[in-house]
Amino acid sequence: MDAMDEPPPWYDPAGEVHAQFNAYLFAGEETLLFDTLPPNMREDVLDALDTVLDGRGLDYLVVSHPEAPHGGNAGAILDAHPDAELLVPETDELHDLALGSAVEDHGEVTDGDELDLGSHAVEFCRSPMFDLAATTWMYERETGALFTVDAYGNAHSAAAGECGRFVDELTDDPEAFTTQRWLGFHSHTFPWFAYVEPERLAAEIEALVDRFDPELVAPAHGAPIREDAVGYLRRLVPVIERISDLGLGQDIRVTELA
């Protein structure tokens, strides 16, 4: 796998390159929202909740980690849905600082905690790839979806109509997709990948496959993966190996998008 000197085929210089921000809503017997979108999308997320919930309340709001793009609307959502229970990762850090005084009353989740939503059931799991230490991933049993927060993201071309697409709608070549979209994203998002022993994160990925065998991968900053989810989970390993080989200071994203 090589960093590229030329822009990748998906990049359209005439159009915008978009970063993606995803929140995920379960609207079965009980309702749960995973992440809140960033503050500049406050009206979007509140409107979407109104539309999908159609008068129902929100039962749970889960914030994957106390950072603006993921938890920046927690206070506003709780104002609109005051009966919702806020759940955040277990941490010694003062995560309520990031979320505002309106959310001081919250519960904490840790690896292995489960939540029965009636039609759905979620399990929280320790994140092996994170920016803030206090980050939780989540798995949902009915859908087989693994919510990977900052990992498994990608940029996309708005001009090419890639907004709101699944990975299988963006490519039929998984190897090319990961080379062209994941190398830059992950070197940028996880600068500490530059120092890692890749086999350690490979072991973490295998542990997740053994534990959940997911059918969907649902990232916060990329296209959801609904085909060959396990294959895609494993395809991150050579990306990590390449970033580790390159070391810090190699901003691959610049090469990808320049």
Partner 1 sequence: MSVQLTEDVHWVGSCEDAGEGRHVHVSVYFIDTGDEYVLVDAGPPHETDIGDEVDRLTGGAGVDTLLLTHTNMPHTGHAREYADRGVRVLSATDIPEEFGGYGELWNRDETVELAGREFSFPKPPMTDHVYSLWLYDHGSGVLFSSEALGNYHPPGRCEAVWEESGDEVSRAEVEAYVRDRLPWVRYVAPEKLESTLRNRLDGYDVSYVAPGHGTPVAGEHLDAYLDRLMDVVREVAGEWSGPSDAARS
Write out the residues near partner 1 by the rule CB under 8 A. Answer: 19, 21, 38-40, 66-69, 72, 92-94, 97-98, 100-101, 111, 126, 128, 130-133, 188-192, 194-197, 200-201, 203-204, 207, 244, 247-249, 251
C-beta of 69: minimal distance to partner 1 in Å?
6
* Cα 184 to Cα 178: distance, rounded to the nearest angstrom: 10
CA torsion angle for 229, 135, 30, 61 (degrees, to 10)? -130
Q: What's the first-to-final CA gap in the chain, in angstroms?
A: 19
CB 9 within 8 A of CB 179: no
The residue among 27 and 48 lying less far from partner 1, judged by its C-beta, is 48
What is the total residue count of the chain? Answer: 258
C-beta of 36: minimal distance to partner 1 in Å?
12
7-10's contacts with Cβ under 8 Å and 24+ in sequence apart are: 7/256, 7/257, 7/258, 8/180, 8/181, 8/256, 9/180, 10/156, 10/157, 10/160, 10/162, 10/170, 10/180, 10/181
The residue among 60 and 193 lying less far from partner 1, judged by its C-beta, is 193
The residue among 118 and 247 lying less far from partner 1, judged by its C-beta, is 247
The residue among 117 and 125 lying less far from partner 1, judged by its C-beta, is 125
Per DSSP, the residues of 56-105 read PPP-EEE-SSSSHHHHTTHHHHHHHSTTPEEEEE--SS-THHHH-GGG-S
C-beta of 195: minimal distance to partner 1 in Å?
4
Residue 33 C-alpha from the chain's centroid:
13
The residue among 217 and 240 lying less far from partner 1, judged by its C-beta, is 240
C-beta of 78: minimal distance to partner 1 in Å?
16
C-beta of 11: minimal distance to partner 1 in Å?
17
The angle subtended at Cα 233 by Cα 232 and Cα 234, nearest 5°, is 90
The residue among 166 and 192 lying less far from partner 1, judged by its C-beta, is 192
The residue among 178 and 187 lying less far from partner 1, judged by its C-beta, is 187
C-beta of 186: minimal distance to partner 1 in Å?
10
C-beta of 238: minimal distance to partner 1 in Å?
16
Largest CA distance in the chain: 52
